[in-house]
């Protein structure tokens, strides 16, 4: 996708994308303020009360994974997190939430034991942040999945800010360089601070920041309720 074509595409679909995904973008931007996943004893009790003992066990397994790999190299962290969340069964938002498009928090994802592509990417993103991976190396990336002929979401990790990222994807357990994922056409990527328009599989043009988001207070109330505070 050329820069000019991508720019025209974004201009055409941006209002619709913002209306549909504003809540999830706010959630992801909140990582700049949230202290990791916040898996406290109170959250574990909340999970058990809301979703049951099995759900609590899944959250405790995530806790254990974070602690076990916290001091590993970033490559090992990527592998561990990608493998953990890819074990969650895939399902559609209609089946899971009775909604056309719903992006779940990691707690919700583990609670119901189901996810779609956005949920995997969000959960991997927050977990890697909690394990100490810098936010500037991570981008939630909206792509066109050519084989599926539909929109898709993955997590991109940039070992070098100006280099080629590797892709964490629920469609495969293999973490591969973006240049090898010819089945994916990147459109835009974002993290807690910035938004990038994709101009190639490895490069993006920064087009704004999370300061354009006006609903921080609503988002933080939601997260505070979820974290039991």
Give pLDDT, residue 72: 97
* Selection from 192, 21, 199, 1 nearest residue 103 by Cα: 21
Map out the domains of the chain with their CATH numbers. Answer: 3-226 (3.10.620.30)
Give pLDDT, residue 103: 77
Q: Is the dihedral of CA 40, 41, 43, 44 positive or negative?
A: positive
Give pLDDT, residue 35: 44
Give pLDDT, residue 161: 78
C-alpha to C-alpha distances, 211 to 27, 207, 218, nearest whole angstrom:
13, 12, 15
C-alpha to C-alpha distances, 112 to 63, 179, 206, 213, 229, nearest whole angstrom:
17, 34, 35, 29, 21
Give pLDDT, residue 48: 94
Mean pLDDT by 10-residue block, N- to C-terminus, for the chain (229 residues)?
A: 48 47 40 57 90 96 96 97 98 91 84 93 90 91 90 93 91 95 87 60 51 35 57
Residue ranges of alpha helices (H) inside the chain are 3-29, 41-51, 53-69, 74-86, 93-97, 106-112, 117-130, 216-226
Give pLDDT, residue 74: 97
pTM comes to 0.77
Contact between 110 and 58 (Cβ < 8 Å)? yes
């Amino acid at each position: 996708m050329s820069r000019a074509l991508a720019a025209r595409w974004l201009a055409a679909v941006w209002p619709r994308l913002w209306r549909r995904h504003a809540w999830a973008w706010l959630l992801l931007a909140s990582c700049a303020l949230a202290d990791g996943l916040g898996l406290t004893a109170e959250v574990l009790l909340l999970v058990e009360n809301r979703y049951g003992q099995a759900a609590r066990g899944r959250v405790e397994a995530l806790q254990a994974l974070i602690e076990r790999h916290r001091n590993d190299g970033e490559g090992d962290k990527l592998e561990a997190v990608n493998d953990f969340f890819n074990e969650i069964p895939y399902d559609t938002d209609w089946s899971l939430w009775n909604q056309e498009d719903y992006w779940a928090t990691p707690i919700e994802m583990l609670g119901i034991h189901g996810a779609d592509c956005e949920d995997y990417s969000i959960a991997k993103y927050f977990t890697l942040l909690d394990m100490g991976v810098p936010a500037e190396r991570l981008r939630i990336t909206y792509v066109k999945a050519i084989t599926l002929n539909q929109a898709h979401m993955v997590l991109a990790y940039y070992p070098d800010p100006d280099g080629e990222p590797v892709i964490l994807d629920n469609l495969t357990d293999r973490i591969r360089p973006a240049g090898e994922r010819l089945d994916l056409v990147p459109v835009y990527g974002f993290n807690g601070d910035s938004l990038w328009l994709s101009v190639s599989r490895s490069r993006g043009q920064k087009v704004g920041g999370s300061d354009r988001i006006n609903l921080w207070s609503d988002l933080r109330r939601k997260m505070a309720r979820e974290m039991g505070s």
